[in-house]
């Protein structure tokens, strides 16, 4: 993209360009979505992409999610607690906490018996609408 396509004029200062890049990067922060139900994961992805976020996933198992974290910088993660075959996203949550990456839980199975790594994390019950999801993401990123 050249300066004309990006809307920059020949007179923009480097500060103006940096401000534009910072503004754009806020809207293109990468969000990891861990969700084992394909339609739910694709729905959340569509909602987030429509709101201007870049989504990593959706992914439905721990090993693949960890591999994505190895390859991508993410600003936030959205985790379903209970995954297929008895897996939970607790290991992902532990890694996110260790790396200072915020996350919240979107689950149909919220209870007091969830793994302790999820204590204190924002929890949203499924089903979740676009407005609630985007508001939660914006709040977690600010």
What confidence tens digit (pLDDT) does each residue in 80-108 have? Answer: 999 999 899 999 999 999 999 999 999 87
Buried-state track 61-84, b at ≥16 Cβ within 10 A, e below 16? bbeebeebbeeeebbbbbbbbebe
- Which CA distances in Å does 19 have to 23, 39, 75? 6, 37, 19
pLDDT at res. 11 = 40
Compute the mean pLDDT over every residue in the chain, rounded to the nearest whole number. Answer: 82
Distance CA 45, CA 55 (A): 6
pTM (2 d.p.): 0.78
Q: Which two tokens stand for residue 36?
A: 């084992």
Distance CA 128, CA 106 (A): 8
What confidence tens digit (pLDDT) does each residue in 20-34 have? Answer: 334 334 446 899 999
């Amino acid at each position: 993209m050249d300066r004309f396509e990006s809307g920059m004029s020949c007179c923009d200062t480097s500060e103006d360009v940096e401000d534009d890049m910072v503004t754009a990067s806020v809207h293109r922060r990468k969000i990891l979505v861990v969700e084992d139900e394909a339609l739910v994961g694709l729905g959340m992805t569509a909602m987030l992409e429509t709101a201007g976020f870049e989504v990593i996933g959706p992914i439905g198992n721990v090993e693949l999610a960890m591999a994505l974290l190895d390859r991508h910088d993410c600003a936030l993660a959205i985790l379903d607690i209970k995954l297929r075959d008895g897996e939970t996203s607790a290991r992902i949550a532990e890694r996110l906490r260790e790396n200072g990456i915020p996350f919240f839980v979107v689950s149909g199975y919220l209870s007091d018996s969830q793994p302790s790594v999820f204590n204190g994390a924002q929890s949203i019950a499924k089903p979740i609408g676009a407005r609630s999801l985007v508001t939660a993401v914006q709040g977690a990123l600010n």
